[in-house]
Chains A and B, each alone.
Chain A
Amino acid sequence: MRATVAAIYRAESRRVFATLVRLLGDLDLAEEALHDAFRAALEQWPRDGVPTNPRAWLVSAGRFKAIDGIRRRARFVAIEHVAEQVDALADETAERDDEGIEDDRLRLIFTCCHPALSPDAQVALTLREVCDLTTEEIARAFLSAAPTLAQRIVRAKAKIRDARIPYQVPTPDELPQRLDSVLRVIYLVFNEGYMASAGESLTRIDLSGEAIRLGRLLVELLPEPEAMGLLALMLLQESRRAARTTETGDLVLLNDQDRSLWNRDQIAAGLALVERALASRRFGSYTLQAAIAAVHADAPSADATDWAEIVGLYDVLLRATPSPIVELNRAVAVAMRDGPAAGLAIVDELLARGNLDDYHLAHATQADLCRRLGKTVEARAAYGRAAALAQQGPERRFLERRLAELEN
């Protein structure tokens, strides 16, 4: 029976929680009610059997436990206030159809990713409330102290309560902007797992996996083209994980990767999603980035890649979201299409503008193109600058190795 309850917890607890947040109007109350409901299940189910609809049973048990709790605390607050609160809860029809329950999960996502919360708080709250990671797991994943993270979550919940951030799915005219904020949170989580921004990656929770699960959930609940685009992008990037590093944890660049190590299932799923998103004609920058990743995924080798197609996609992406980093990536594709000199001209011009001075990959790209052109002195200087700026162990080691090769 314990195993059955545990399995139902894994499958249903976030759905039950999302509905309890709606019914109780408070994240902390809902958390407490959820645990009370599962405690009651552990007591009653062995005696009475598992109910036919465990989810509805748990929602209703959680709600009654919360009403009990409010009544018990009633001794300390004005009686009419309590009556009002209890009435409001008792009036709610607890059982809704499944569609309503799925709406609750979407409400929870949009509330946790509300743009009125700081980006850090959005990430922490989403991982805590939607993914059910513990505060300690999230802290470890982001290499921050657990008390700091706990405080961030407490403050975010207080803001939701005090500023009255509602438990709502945005209206259609608000949706594009609000969806952006959800997608940004998911991609931030993914990138933290994929490109761990600092330190050596070891025994950290699989944030990329969590982000993909979140992306799947979002596409299932809200099949918007950009949500599909983001999921495709994550799957296509994740498909290269096994080929991205050597056994000793050193970095392998895309062009040098053993493509037989790429995960074909993830690629197939990613390609299908990109096609669906592109067909909608309402796609944006995530879909375009996924389309670029899809061209790579389709190519048997770096040389056999359709670089002209990639440059073309970067042109569209630049028009949609102008950014020096996109220009840098486009320069790499131009170098593959027209030769390193053409790419270097763009990179030199970009660096001369000054807004990529602190970005190690800009210097690393310049270094690589100089190296390929036999400009050893310039290459060495640029590798030095890149290595000094790189925060992450494997990247720094890669740059230092290249530098050492040039010195011999």
Chain B
Amino acid sequence: MKYLCLAYYDEKAFEAMSKPEVEALVSQCPPHDAALRASGHLIVQASLGASRESMCLRPRSGKVSITDGPFAETKELVGGFFIIEAKDLNEAIRVASMHPAAHLGETVGWGIEVRPVEFFQQE
């Protein structure tokens, strides 16, 4: 079973951090990232561009409407994702807990949403 893990952050709070604060936070990440990779459960991991680089496509009166910005207007945005292989939700929780966003960045809205994924069959 595969689980998609969405790593959230509060973009405004994060951008308001000073350079040394960001560095202090980022410097604590590598041991967590290393543990996650070493678990053998990680399939893919990626970091997303800033929300101002995103745009949304929606159906509007039979046409595709294009607007700028993220899909939902919320404080917390997805900043990265990773997909893991786990036998059940408890194992998925254990593996996803290794990610830095489960331990660090409390004041800048870090956190992880874990969702089961059903992949479509490739013909």
* Cα–Cα distance between A166 and B116 once the two chains are bound (Å): 13
Look across to chain B and name the residue whose beta carbon is closest to the beta carbon of A115: B93
Near A by CB (< 8 A), chain B positions 81-123 give: 87-91, 93-94, 115-116
Report yes or no: A170 in contact with B116, Cβ–Cβ below 8 A. Answer: no
Residues of B within 8 A of A163 (CB): 89, 115-116
Report yes or no: B116 in contact with A168, Cβ–Cβ below 8 A. Answer: no
**A73 at interface (Cβ–Cβ under 8 A)?**
no
* Cα–Cα distance between A81 and B88 once the two chains are bound (Å): 20
**A84 at interface (Cβ–Cβ under 8 A)?**
no
Residues of B within 8 A of A166 (CB): 87-91
* Cα–Cα distance between A162 and B114 once the two chains are bound (Å): 13
Look across to chain A and name the residue whose beta carbon is closest to the beta carbon of B91: A166
**A164 at interface (Cβ–Cβ under 8 A)?**
yes
**B1 at interface (Cβ–Cβ under 8 A)?**
yes
Residues of A within 8 A of B93 (CB): 116
Would you call the interface of chain A mostly helix, strand, loop, or mixed? loop
Residues of A within 8 A of B89 (CB): 114, 116, 163-166
Report yes or no: A174 in contact with B116, Cβ–Cβ below 8 A. Answer: no
**Interface 1/0 per residue, A249-280 and B, CB below 8 Å:** 00000000000000000000000000000000
Residues of B within 8 A of A165 (CB): 88-90
Near B by CB (< 8 A), chain A positions 43-80 give: none
Classify chain A's interface size: 10 to 19
How close is B113's CB to chain A, nearest CB, in angstroms?
A: 11
Near B by CB (< 8 A), chain A positions 347-362 give: none
* Cα–Cα distance between A116 and B86 once the two chains are bound (Å): 16
* Cα–Cα distance between A166 and B89 once the two chains are bound (Å): 7
How close is A164's CB to chain B, nearest CB, in angstroms?
A: 4
Residues of A within 8 A of B87 (CB): 164, 166
* Cα–Cα distance between A163 and B93 once the two chains are bound (Å): 11
Most chain A beta-carbon neighbours within 10 Å: one of B88, B89, B116: B89
* Cα–Cα distance between A168 and B1 once the two chains are bound (Å): 17
Look across to chain B and name the residue whose beta carbon is closest to the beta carbon of A162: B116
Residues of A within 8 A of B115 (CB): 163
Look across to chain A and name the residue whose beta carbon is closest to the beta carbon of B118: A162
How close is A109's CB to chain B, nearest CB, in angstroms?
A: 15
Residues of A within 8 A of B116 (CB): 162-164
Residues of A within 8 A of B94 (CB): 174
Residues of A within 8 A of B1 (CB): 164
How close is B41's CB to chain A, nearest CB, in angstroms?
A: 14
* Cα–Cα distance between A393 and B90 once the two chains are bound (Å): 43
Look across to chain A and name the residue whose beta carbon is closest to the beta carbon of B116: A163
Residues of B within 8 A of A174 (CB): 90, 94
* Cα–Cα distance between A114 and B87 once the two chains are bound (Å): 16
Look across to chain B and name the residue whose beta carbon is closest to the beta carbon of A167: B88
Look across to chain B and name the residue whose beta carbon is closest to the beta carbon of A116: B89
* Cα–Cα distance between A201 and B109 once the two chains are bound (Å): 42
Look across to chain B and name the residue whose beta carbon is closest to the beta carbon of A166: B88
Residues of A within 8 A of B91 (CB): 166
**Interface 1/0 per residue, A135-171 and B, CB below 8 Å:** 0000000000000000000000000001111101010
Residues of A within 8 A of B88 (CB): 164-166, 168
How close is B92's CB to chain A, nearest CB, in angstroms?
A: 8
Look across to chain A and name the residue whose beta carbon is closest to the beta carbon of B3: A163
Look across to chain B and name the residue whose beta carbon is closest to the beta carbon of A178: B90
Near A by CB (< 8 A), chain B positions 1-55 give: 1
Residues of B within 8 A of A170 (CB): 90
How close is A148's CB to chain B, nearest CB, in angstroms?
A: 25
Known contacts A164-B1, A164-B89, A166-B90; 18 additional CB pairs below 8 A are A114-B89, A116-B89, A116-B93, A162-B116, A163-B115, A163-B116, A164-B87, A164-B116, A165-B89, A165-B90, A166-B87, A166-B88, A166-B89, A166-B91, A168-B88, A170-B90, A174-B90, A174-B94
Q: Which residues of A pack against B, CB within 8 Å?
A: 114, 116, 162-166, 168, 170, 174
Jot down 22 A-B pairs with beta carbons below 8 A, ordered by A.
A114-B89, A116-B89, A116-B93, A162-B116, A163-B89, A163-B115, A163-B116, A164-B1, A164-B87, A164-B88, A164-B89, A165-B88, A165-B90, A166-B87, A166-B88, A166-B89, A166-B90, A166-B91, A168-B88, A168-B90, A170-B90, A174-B94
